[in-house]
Structure 1
Amino acid sequence: MSEKLTTKKKARPGKIDGDASRNAIIVNYELEVAYMNEAGEVVKVEKKPKQDIVALPGVGPDTDLDALADSVISKSKFVTASKKDKVVAALQQIVAIQSGGGEPPSESAPAPRKSRSEAASQGVEDRKKEREARRRKAEKEKQQAEMDRNREIERERVREEELAREREMEAELTAALLKRTEVPDKKAELWQLDEYVENLYESMDDKITGTAMILQLSLKAENLEQMSRNETLFLALSRTLREDSKKSMDLVINIMYIFFCFSSYSEFHPVLFQYKIGDMTMKVIDLEVKRHELRKQDLKKMKQTKEEGGSVGKEEKKTLLVMKKQDKLLYLCFHLLLNLAEDVNIERKMKKRKIVPYLVLMLDRSDEELLVLACMFLKKLSIFKENVADMLENDVVPRLVKFIASENDNLLGVVLRLLLNLSFDTEALDALVDQGIIPRLISLLSRNRFKEFVLRLLYQLSCTDRGKSVFALTEHVGLIGDNVLQSTQRRVPLELVALAINLTDMERSALSMAQEHRLPRFLQRAMHTGDPLLMKVVRNMSQHHQLTEQLTEFVYDLAQMCTQVDNPELLVECLGVLGNCVDERISWAKIAEDLDMVSFLHKHLVPGFSEDDIVLEIIVILGTLCLDADVGEVLGNERLMGAFVEIVMEKQDDADILLQSIYTLLRLLMIERTRDIVLVSYGEKVVPFLVSHFFHRDPKIRDYADKALDFVMEYDETWAEQIREKKFQVHNEAWLNAVEADEGGMQGDEYFYEGETEQYNGFEWQDAGELQFVNNEEVVRF
């Protein structure tokens, strides 16, 4: 039965053309249809070019094109008020063709010819800007390539260390196993192998003796190749294991040990697969797990008998001895399977045979070598998501957390690596938080051997809201800050600084980390080393008002650093810190004048010079400077104001830049000198811009635009009347469109423009003056 699919449609507006032959405006758009399954996942996307044709009344030279453009916008749901200029241009094109005058100059038409000197000057300037843009792009690409290369080198180093450590642990485990292996007094000889095989057809004691001699030969790597070619040997061993696995544990241990020796070398794996050794090993594990449950019940009964005064000394000792042997057998079985799991296909077969639940059960045992091996195997399996789900279903997290206090370094190391793999699953992260692992991990930071993995795991935990909340409640957040300050590397290690960034995003954790005068020390170190991530830590802390005062004395040095730094990533963070320093006692006017910040701000406000994230922070800084009433004389620079207005007009589609731009405009209008420049020189652009966002979907943008317009109306009567009239027009248009939609004007398909929307009084604002209606209460986001 095919799965039921639901559809969501989204329209992307395109080019607007005028068609004189049909006397219509052609609105091109692309309709994107997303097909989703019941889980809400997109399974298929179709894109189709479409046209919306808006018929026009008679159009002539005397037609009011501005009013006609408003009519077109009201009739087409694919044309927004921000595209009015393009609609007017299309109408002009129709008028020109119908009047026989040909097409008017379009946006792509060549500009009027300039004089030779002007053209030469403009050409030199354009080439200079192009060279500068190429230079900056090449520098940025070079920096990015260097960072990528360093990260790859670091990853390779970590991988090599991880593999070396695993090989070292396996060697230690094998050595420990050899120490516990009883070797017969008689020396085995390879030429007597057939005699040892014949013993497998005799009594049980002979079988044990024969397998012990074969095992002695198998422990020498130089014998394995010749032995692997002996078909009789493998047939006899596999038959004996299959028939006598329930009769003697010593016999099974010897046989599994022989197979384990072969499994240690990849070239012998085909031989083991040929005789189905993996399948028999799984059966042995299944049998021993069931036996262990019975022995646990026997021990429980013995304990009750002892409490009642009975004697069970010999029986208890015998049971414990058998369980110890069983640990050795299970170690051999799982180690053999771990070796065979080099092949992913074999690993998948093991997963189907329930290898994961068996390994999780091993975590309840006390033998440390078996615990280390089980964790190593689980770590290998945890690479695949389905295996992680099996582990969580079998309560692996509580079993692992108890080993955080282990004194066995090998066990603790592999447990931390396994927990790190599991931490990429959200359910596992929640389980780790519930088990109270965070304080335990922080206490391990003093052990340098595990510090790297502890920090990575703490970082993973700090990525969730629940984890951050637990961090905030602990008393050890300051210890993270001390580790940052005590780092001997020029740049703080990535795991450590990333953890600090996440923690300082929450006010309580930031306050804890700032204790003992750490915040100024963070800033001083970041300024000295030029570490952008450490500066981001400072930026996060500076956003909490209780900590801003600690940075006041560094504002001048920080502003000076901003004007000199070349690294864009560092500049963004420095500007962010500076923008958060909103203490009214700071003399911004003096700082701006001493450091010639007008030139600095103007440079980055030139369209195309800086990336959007830097532009955003520059606009924030401009608004922060306006906190000082005396800054008007410094900022009263027509070039600066002009660049600011131009960048605002260009970047108004960016929600963050739009919000900060309107707030900064509000601050500039509060200062007489800058207000005069903005309204006199750029009022024709600024006032319509503010009016167009008077009904924006974001309440903060609406509020700042309203306040800014109030300032304009208060100080300029000429604009006041126009603003009141425009507000009425926009409000009336919105109401009429809402009524039209309510009467069924937009029944049927739902169209969504790109970007998030939210419901507002029956209609939605997409951008300046744009209305978008929905048929249901829940707004769908793409």
Structure 2
Amino acid sequence: MLFDCVEKEIDVELISLCINLAANKSNARIICEGNGLKRLMKRALKLKDVLVMKMIRNLSQHNGSTKSLFLDHVGDLAAQISEEEAEEFVIESLGTLANLTIPDLDWQLVLKEFNLVPYLKDRLKPGSAEDDLILEVVIMIGTVSMDDSCAAMLAKSGIIPALIELLNAQQEDDEFVCQIVYVFYQMVFHKATRDVIVKDTQAPAYLIDLMHDSNTEIRKVCDNTLDIIAEYDEEWGKKIQNEKFRWYNGQWLEMVENRPLDEAGEPFLFGEDGESFIGERDIMERPDLFYSPDGITSTDGAISPEFYTDLQDGELGQSGYMSRY
């Protein structure tokens, strides 16, 4: 019925049904077989039909043979990413492109040929567009950053500071935070951009602040990203380990810091020379502060700081790429 429709506007009930049907993988394969996808793309681009493009976006989310059919239409979709096009149509086009996690797709060529990097960077500015469009831009950056050369190109363009600025502006929106952190994960995953993230930006500090976020997905991707950073950079690794220790032992540390006075009126927190019990040294260098296996504080039975990292790994687990919204 949809393909037989020759009118400029498709009946709302019909296209709504098709949008929902396209969300199913088996249905998507049937719709796209033959010239199905080609005909849908032709209609969407010719009439700038947002609803048909929304249907196409749903079709693009399915892995396998269906997604590979979009290789022939990447250029047509990328050409829609411009300031001249209607924002709603750009959102659906961006969303479709962001779904195309295809190994054979040369994202670097696409970004260069259609000059997309300046557009993506400009749209990261808070208030530059509707939040829906800015979010799709972030997701798109996460997709292309899977490619090492694209990640390097984006890092050199100054997109990382722009993402940090956006993170500050959207820190109450879990979806924004999750997708931005995912971009950081992709960036540190590549050797070519790891230095930029770790040494030239404050991204690791933001990740440490977010590692105990109430959102499970944010915590997972932060944990994976920080693990890579800790292995790569000794200084950040020490800070990350300290934060993990403080988090898992927060209640005990608070008790130690508030110990009562001794008989002489001196706090137990201070030794004979007046030095703080915890001192100015790194907390991870104080094995006497660690619990022994039987729960008693003991220098002889102290557990190494690595125990707490292992404990976290056991509780939270290790995940690979985060799931998309």
Query: Normalized against structure 2, the TM-score is what?
Result: 0.72
Q: Is the 8 A contact 2:107 2:147 kept in 1?
A: yes
Where 2:179 maps in the other structure, the secondary structure is helix
Q: Give the Å deviation of 1:614.
A: 0.9
Alpha-carbon separation, structure 1, partners of 2:96 and 2:73: 10
In the alignment, does 2:199 pair up with 1:680?
Answer: yes
- Given candidates 696, 711, 728, the residue that maps to 2:213 is 696
SS in 1 for 2:211: coil
- Asked if 2 retains the 8 angstrom alpha-carbon contact of 1:713 and 1:720, the reply is yes
Deviations 1:489-548 (A, max 9, x none): 223222211111122122233233223331232122212211111100001111111311
Alpha-carbon distance in structure 2 between the residues aligned to 1:491 and 1:736: 66
Corresponding residue number in structure 2 for 1:485 = 3
Higher helix share: 1
From 506, 514, 531, the counterpart of 2:32: 514
2:309 alignment counterpart: none
Structure 2 residue matching 1:711: 3-state secondary structure: helix
2:142 aligned with 1:594: no
Alpha-carbon offset, residue 565 of structure 1: 4.5
User: Structure 1 735/688 Cα, relative in aligned 2: closer, same or farther at 3 Å?
Assistant: farther
**One-letter amino acid of the structure 2 residue matched with residue 497 of structure 1:** I
2:167 — aligned with what? 648
3-state SS in 2 of match to 1:489: coil
Structure 1 residues 539 and 698: alpha-carbon distance in aligned structure 2, compared to 1, 3 A threshold: same
CA distance in 1, matches of 2:251, 2:43: 54
Determine the structure 2 residue equivalent to 1:585. 104
Q: Residues 294-315 of structure 1, C-alpha deviation per residue, up to 9 Å, x if partnerless?
A: xxxxxxxxxxxxxxxxxxxxxx
1:634 aligns with 2:153: yes
Higher RCO (Cα < 8 Å, 6 or more apart): 2
Distance 1:734 1:687 in 2: 25
Q: 1:559 to 1:735 in 2, by over 3 A?
A: farther
> Is the 1:592–1:634 contact (alpha carbons within 8 Å) kept by the matching residues of 2?
no
Change (3 A) 1:723 1:638: farther
Offset at residue 734 of structure 1 (A): 7.0
Pairing partner for 1:716 from 233, 242, 258: 233
1:273-352 alignment, distance < 5 Å: none
Which residue among 227, 235, 249 is the counterpart of 1:732?
A: 249
| Deviation (angstroms), 1:735 | 8.1
Quickly say closer, same or farther: Cα 1:563–1:496, change in 2 above 3 A.
same
Matching residue of 1:503: 21
Give the letter for the 1:703 counterpart: K
Question: In 1, Cα distance between the equivalents of 2:168 and 2:219?
Answer: 17
Partner of 1:668: 187
TM-score scaled by length of structure 1 = 0.31
2:176 to 654, 657, 665: 657
Q: Distance in 2 between matches of 1:508 and 1:697?
A: 36
* Number of the residue aligned with 2:136: 617
Query: CA 1:571 to 1:622, structure 2 compared with 1: closer, same or farther past 3 Å?
Result: same
The AA in structure 1 aligned to 2:45 is M
Stretches of structure 2 that go unaligned for 5 or more consecutive residues are 255-325
Offset from partner CA, 1:156-209 (integer Å, 9 cap, x none): xxxxxxxxxxxxxxxxxxxxxxxxxxxxxxxxxxxxxxxxxxxxxxxxxxxxxx
SS in 2 for 1:485: coil
Evaluate the alpha carbon distance shift between residue 489 and residue 565 of structure 1 in structure 2; reply closer, same or farther with a 3 A threshold.
farther
- Does residue 566 in structure 1 map to residue 89 in structure 2? no
Change (3 A) 1:557 1:734: farther
Alignment of 1:157-556 (within 5 A): 483-546=1-64, 547-556=66-75
In the TM superposition, what whole-angstrom CA distance separates every residue of 1:215-262 from its partner, at most 9, and x where no partner exists? xxxxxxxxxxxxxxxxxxxxxxxxxxxxxxxxxxxxxxxxxxxxxxxx
1:724 to 1:575, Cα distance in 2 relative to 1, 3 A: same
CA distance in 2, matches of 1:571, 1:565: 10
> Structure 2 counterpart of 1:597, which letter?
L
Q: Distance in 1 between matches of 2:222 and 2:177?
A: 11
Aligned to 2:269: none
| Cα 1:513/1:557, change in 2 over 3 Å | closer
- Aligned partner of 1:575 among 73, 79, 94: 94
Q: For 1:604 and 1:629, locate their aligned partners in 2 and report how far apart those are by CA, in whole Å.
A: 22
The structure with the larger Rg is 1
2-structure distance, mates of 1:713, 1:620: 25
**Distance change >3 Å, CA 508–CA 729, structure 1 → 2:** same
Q: CA deviation at 1:694?
A: 1.9
Task: Check whether the contact 1:593–1:634 (CA below 8 A) recurs between aligned residues.
Answer: no
Residues 335-356 of structure 1 show CA distances to partners (whole Å, capped at 9, x for unaligned) of xxxxxxxxxxxxxxxxxxxxxx
Cα deviation digits, residues 82-139 of structure 1 (max 9, x gap):
xxxxxxxxxxxxxxxxxxxxxxxxxxxxxxxxxxxxxxxxxxxxxxxxxxxxxxxxxx
Identity of aligned residues (%): 28
* Residue 606 of structure 1: how far off its partner (Å): 1.0
Number of corresponding residues: 253
Deviations 1:677-735 (A, max 9, x none): 2222322xx22321232233433222211111012112211211011111222233378
Corresponding position of 1:607: 126
1:485 and 1:663 map into 2 onto residues whose CA distance is 38
Deviations 1:751-772 (A, max 9, x none): xxxxxxxxxxxxxxxxxxxxxx
Checking the alignment, whether the CA contact within 8 Å between 2:81 and 2:116 is kept in structure 1 is no
Structure 1: give runs of 5+ residues left out of the alignment. 1-482, 738-782
Paired amino acid for 2:51? L
Give yes or no for contact 1:691–1:727 (8 Å, CA) kept in 2.
no
Distance 1:669 1:734, change over 3 A: farther
